[in-house]
Amino acid sequence: MSDRDLLQVLVDAAGEGERAFNLARGREGRVRVKSSSADLVTEVDLRVQEATSDFLRRHVPQACVVAEEAGDSVSTADRIYLDPIDGTLNFVHGFGEHCISIGYWSGERPLAGVVRKLSTGDLFAAQRGCGAFWNGEAIRPSQRRSTGEALVATGWPYDKSLAGRVLSEMGRLIGQCQEIRIIGSAALAMCYVASGVLEGFWETGLEPWDLAAGTAIALEAGAVVTAHDGSPFQLESGTILVSNGHLHQRLIEMIA
């Protein structure tokens, strides 16, 4: 399968998930709490995951599908990380920042990523060596070089005992950046850095399915991706800093 064929399969898989989402929407059923009151799963998450996973397993049998609500173990070098609804809490409250996130990794390398924003249908997609796109238009990070002009984002940890650390980080940035946003979806936040909407995004305590697609898109767009302290990014670490590159070192200094 060529890279282009692979990307099209991921786009089509996101389309299958979006159809399942639209059919199930309004029939969320019982909202189940997982690790905390902000970590939720609904019947819609499960319906989207089932439809998307089934499609991927049929069309990319060589890869292991690792989905948020499934608990599958990783058994092959090629993995497809699936978050059926990244931003479930946003979805439950009717806040539009939620998406399907699908990232294909081979070993330690991202090969392709697709993020479909479910409230609008916007599609972010990238394949290694072929560029990154938003609704078919090529994207690049912003060229802003001053932190005073930088719009950055972060996220809250599910473990609220760690919220103080995030507040401390935000306190160091708020007087030096233009503003800080909480998007509530790591995948979308990374896409916004990739497309120049944001200048930076950092967060810790994330899972591989939160990061896999957005990282692939951000890297292919030309963004810089590391751990929040500037060390090399590792998908399993759960910590990330994405920036337009020009502000990366300054953000590391302010965050860490």
As annotated, the active-site residues are 68, 83, 85-86, 88, 210
DSSP letter for each residue of 23-37: HHTT---SPEE-SST
**Cβ atoms of 181 and 153 closer than 8 Å:** yes
Angle between helices 248-255 and 163-174 (to 10 degrees): 130
DSSP letter for each residue of the chain: --HHHHHHHHHHHHHHHHHHHHHHTT---SPEE-SSTT-EE-HHHHHHHHHHHHHHHHH-TTSEEEETTT-PPP-SSEEEEEEEEETHHHHHTT-S--EEEEEEEETTEEEEEEEEETTT--EEEEETTS-EEETTEE--------GGG-EEEE---SSGGGHHHHHHHHHHHHTTSSEEEE-S-HHHHHHHHHTTS-SEEEESS--HHHHHHHHHHHHHHT-EEE-TTSSBP-GGG--EEEE-STTHHHHHHHH-
Residue 241, judged by CB atoms within 10 A of its CB (0-12, 13-18, 19+), counts as buried
